[in-house]
Chain A
């Protein structure tokens, strides 16, 4: 029962982080900023949700497979976003600056 309670808490926290990643993907001003939002928040949200499902399932074969999914997401999601940022930088996409950057008022 305590496992179910902790698992449901982790599921709700993971949904919160997924929502933060989505809102950051829409609201931030630049490709690199959006990359930062989806590369960290989404990874943490997915890992929290899968960890909560492991707690709900208990110690079975399915939770072992879920652990493999968790490790895979932890390795590949930042790798994918890093590859996209590297491609954007190589093809000459300029980072965003504020209009008054570097000026003293």
Chain B
């Protein structure tokens, strides 16, 4: 079981690196923000699996909850900021 979680962490790390292409290459600023949000969402899952690997699940669940709140607040705040401007293509 422990070995399965270790391999699962490696696979998740590979999956997290894919949207970074969109963050670097994105044509508009919205694409970059979307890629950053996707990376944050997948990082939440990675933190949970790391908690299972280290056998300290009680601590890492709280970290995951705080991370989810921060990710959501950041996305909504930047969307609010970008929606009130004109012509940022």
Q: Which residues of A contact B68 (CB under 8 A)?
A: 69, 72-73, 76
Beta-carbon contact of B61 and A62 below 8 Å: yes
Bound CA–CA A42/B31 (angstroms): 16
Bound CA–CA A11/B28 (angstroms): 33
Bound CA–CA A73/B89 (angstroms): 29
> Which listed residue (B15, B21, B72) contacts A76, Cβ 8 A?
B72
Q: Which residues of B contact A86 (CB under 8 A)?
A: 79, 83
Main secondary structure of the interface of A (DSSP, over half): helix
Bound CA–CA A92/B30 (angstroms): 12
Closest CB of chain B to A85's CB: distance in Å?
Answer: 8
Bound CA–CA A69/B85 (angstroms): 33
Q: Which residues of B contact A79 (CB under 8 A)?
A: 72, 76
Closest CB of chain A to B39's CB: distance in Å?
Answer: 9
Residue of B nearest to A7 (CB): B1
Beta-carbon contact of B37 and A65 below 8 Å: no
Closest CB of chain A to B2's CB: distance in Å?
Answer: 12
